Structure 1
Amino acid sequence: MLEIVSLLLVALLFGGMTLYAFGFAAVLFAALPVDMVRLTLRRAFPHFYLFVIVTAAAGAALMWSQNRGSALMLGLIALSTVPTRQSLMPAINAATDQGRHGRFKALHGLSVLVTLAHIALSAVVLARFI
């Protein structure tokens, strides 16, 4: 039973991050004016990062007794999301507010790399269930 719950949490983490990263913003940009998209994304990202932190940490805790390697990968996702949410995201917002386009591009690029790394790590953990 614990393995099934762990599998579902990792699947939720992988699917949630993938949908958010590749679907949510694209749909917003297709459906709304750019200013509204920026405001919506700014409001949504803290919740997204909280989802990643909680889901990855819960998965890590549940997997600790079953597969420590996978638990450590999920723990890494949870822990590395904290500074992304608390420091990187506010820095991205500040760069936008200050019109510092070069800084925005660099910081946003870093946040994309972090998210892609998290998706890849969660995919590895998910594949280890096979």
Structure 2
Amino acid sequence: MTVLALLVTALLFGGMVLYSFGFAAFLFNALQPDEAGRLLRRACPHFYLFVLGASALAAALRFPGDLIGAALLAAVAVTVIPARQVLMPAINAASDAGDKRRFGLLYGGSVMLTLTHIALSAWALARFI
């Protein structure tokens, strides 16, 4: 179970880092900003589902051996739900309405939340050592 928990936690961490710093950056370098934004809008719900599934599974697998690590991963799973269901639609609505100030605040919040998720998963991953 510990090896599987390690692999799922590593997948979560790596997937979030790749999406946030690789995929998104690549899109904005390869496409026009409007096109990149549209593609990211379509990809984000899938990203959040990946984070939800991987973090919940990693928390469940880690639970018997490391309560702190399991709690860190569960915190990611719990907080990604409102990010997907509330924050993401609010970001899209602000973008559609052309409200740049609101968009900037909401998008900045989503970036901070994602960075927090990455940090929590890194902390949980480091606890395997």
Q: Structures share a fold, TM > 0.5?
A: yes
Report what 2:67 is aligned to.
68
Equivalent residue letter for 1:61:
A
CA distance in 2, matches of 1:119, 1:19: 11
Letter in 2 for 1:100: D
Q: Quote the residue 1:115 is aligned against.
A: 114
Displacement of 1:107 in angstroms is 0.3
1:17-67 CA-to-partner distances (Å, cap 9, x unmatched) read 011111111100111122211110000000000000000000011111111
Q: 1:15-34 alignment to 2 at 5 Å?
A: 15-34=14-33
| Partner secondary structure for residue 26 of structure 1 | helix
Normalising by the residue count of structure 2, what TM-score does the alignment of the two structures yield? 0.98
Aligned residues: 129
Unaligned ranges ≥5, structure 2: none
Give the alignment's Cα RMSD to 1 decimal.
Answer: 0.6
Q: Secondary structure at the match of 1:66?
A: coil
Output one character per residue of 1:101-124: Cα deviation in whole Å (capped at 9) or x when no partner: 000000000001100000000000
Amino acid of the structure 1 residue aligned with 2:35: M
Measured in 1, the distance between the counterparts of 2:63 and 2:126 equals: 17
Between 93-102 and 26-35, the greater mean CA deviation after superposition: 26-35
> What does residue 12 of structure 1 align with?
11
Which amino acid letter does the alignment assign opposite residue 87 of structure 2? L
Number of the residue aligned with 2:87: 88
Runs of 4 or more, structure 1, over 2 Å off, are none
> Which residues of structure 1 form unaligned runs of 5+?
none
State the alpha-carbon separation in 1 of the partners of residues 22 and 62 from structure 2.
29
| Secondary structure in 1 matching 2:9 | helix
State the TM-score, normalized to the length of structure 1.
0.97
The aligned amino acid for 1:70 is G
- Identical-residue share of aligned pairs (%): 55
